[in-house]
Amino acid sequence: MLKRRRGHKARLCLTPAQAAMAEEQGHAARALWNLVHDWWTMLPRERRSLAAADEAIRQGRKDLPWLGALPAQAAQAVLKTYFQAWKNCWGGRAQAPQFKGRFRCRMAIDIPQGRDLQIVRLNRRWGRMWVPKVGHVRFRWTRDLPVGRHADGASRVSGARLVKEADGWHVVFRVQREVPEPEPHPGPTVGIDRGITRPLALSDGTFRDHGPWLTEGEAKRLRRLEKTKDRRRHAREPGEKDSRRLTRTYDQIAQLRATAKRRAVDWQHKTTTEIAETFARVGVEDLAVTSMVKSARGTVEAPGRHVRQKAGLNRAIAEEAWGRTVTMLEYKTTDRGGIVVKVPSANTSRRCSACGVITPGSRENQARFVCKNPGCRFEANADTNAGRNIEHAAGQAVSGRGDLGTAGL
């Protein structure tokens, strides 16, 4: 048996009074993070410790009454999250923690103990949970949770986090389940080339496409709101507080972008589930997406070229969320007994998948590949050819358990 930890996100239904109390806690949690950050960075290294920070938080809650809006356990969770951020930085997995601006960060409130949630299912569509200092709140029941008689020491809800997004408050449950170890997947190997014109091109010649995330009317409304935002921003004096109309415009833009993101995530979930159920091994390129979307602006001494074109390409890559697609594939294939293999991305689009030779000019355009090797003359869609190269590289991968090439894992 394996212990599987997953997150489950559900929409909260808060009354206006509960929403106000939740926002008060969210602001207190953000302010506490900033206070801990200032305290940590100003102290000498030899005086920094988790115990000293915990004592500083306790004293701060006594000296600053408005910090009392945040429950004590949620305050301790802020400290643990901050300390973990530094550990990730020291391990080279993330950048150093930064100051959290009021309008640049998402409100979040931790409920570390699952027993405090008191989750109850009310009917087919709704459940109820307890939020400290807010009370009982309802949430959309879209997936069965290990609560009540379905919970035990191995399968349970270990905690939750409340987050505020553009479309309202949500709760993310931390769910732990005990499941049997999956059997090796009997399916074939596939290579996937990620792109913009064709989001996912598989080595078997098929594609996984999607339409625009916003309808034509929604896209027009978004462009109109963006113009309104720019006009109202330029009308402000430097340092002047945002007007209510400008703030409302910001909220409307955020709601439309949140709608587009929900549709994108829904498509990614459905597509990656279908791929994980069909194939035993999935090969993808090992891309440094963060480096790919860097600006081409350059510096004053060495200004960049084609800056606007590169900015458009960066936006298109960010909208496809290639990293999120791979993350979904990794845990879904693992749950089904499969594996995701990351292969080097060098020359996957330039090499002929039939003869393995790289010849100049083989990629005639963005969509067509024609091998210039006189003995080959292989023709295919350029993305499909790249997917075949990725499949070949993934099929030769070897793990610590030996060759994964043919008969499963």
At residue 403, does pLDDT exceed 60?
Answer: no
Taking the C-alpha atoms of residue 231 and residue 39, their distance in angstroms, rounded to an integer, is: 40
pLDDT value at residue 317: 87
Taking the C-alpha atoms of residue 119 and residue 297, their distance in angstroms, rounded to an integer, is: 51
At residue 110, does pLDDT exceed 60?
Answer: yes
pLDDT value at residue 127: 94
Residue range 234-259, pLDDT digits in tens: 888 887 888 889 989 999 999 999 99
Find the angle CA(348)-CA(354)-CA(357) to the nearest 5 degrees.
60
Whole-model pTM: value is 0.85
List the single range of 6-20, 55-69, 299-313, 345-359 with lowest mean pLDDT.
Answer: 299-313
397: left (phi over 0), alpha (psi -120 to 50) or beta: beta
Contact, 394 vs 378, CB < 8 A?
A: no
At residue 341, does pLDDT exceed 80?
Answer: yes
Residue range 72-92, pLDDT digits in tens: 999 999 999 999 999 999 998
List the single range of 79-83, 153-157, 370-374 with lowest mean pLDDT.
Answer: 153-157
At residue 354, does pLDDT exceed 60?
Answer: yes
Residue range 21-31, pLDDT digits in tens: 999 999 999 99
Grade residue 71 by pLDDT with cuts at 50, 70 and 90.
very high
Residue 234 C-beta-side C-alpha neighbours within 13 Å:
5
At residue 312, does pLDDT exceed 50?
Answer: yes
- The arithmetic mean of pLDDT across residues 38-64, rounded, is 88
At residue 303, does pLDDT exceed 70?
Answer: yes
DSSP 153-218: SSSEEEEEEEEEETTEEEEEEEEEEEEPPPPPP---EEEEEE-SSSSEEETTS-EE----SS-HHH
pLDDT value at residue 88: 93
Q: Which residue has the higher pLDDT, 45 or 305?
A: 45
- The arithmetic mean of pLDDT across residues 188-192, rounded, is 92
Grade residue 399 by pLDDT with cuts at 50, 70 and 90.
very low
At residue 182, does pLDDT exceed 60?
Answer: yes
For the beta sheet containing 281-285, the strands, ordered from the edge strand earlier in sequence to the opposite edge, are: 207-208, 200-202, 189-194, 281-285, 339-343
Find the angle CA(256)-CA(260)-CA(266) to the nearest 5 degrees.
145
Tell me if residue 246 falls in helix, strand or coil.
Answer: helix
- With 0-12 / 13-18 / 19 or more C-beta atoms within 10 angstroms meaning exposed / middle / buried, residue 361 is exposed
- The arithmetic mean of pLDDT across residues 161-173, rounded, is 93
Taking the C-alpha atoms of residue 378 and residue 353, their distance in angstroms, rounded to an integer, is: 8
pLDDT value at residue 9: 93
pLDDT value at residue 32: 93
- The arithmetic mean of pLDDT across residues 150-177, rounded, is 88
Written as one letter, the residue type at 63 is: D
Taking the C-alpha atoms of residue 280 and residue 184, their distance in angstroms, rounded to an integer, is: 8
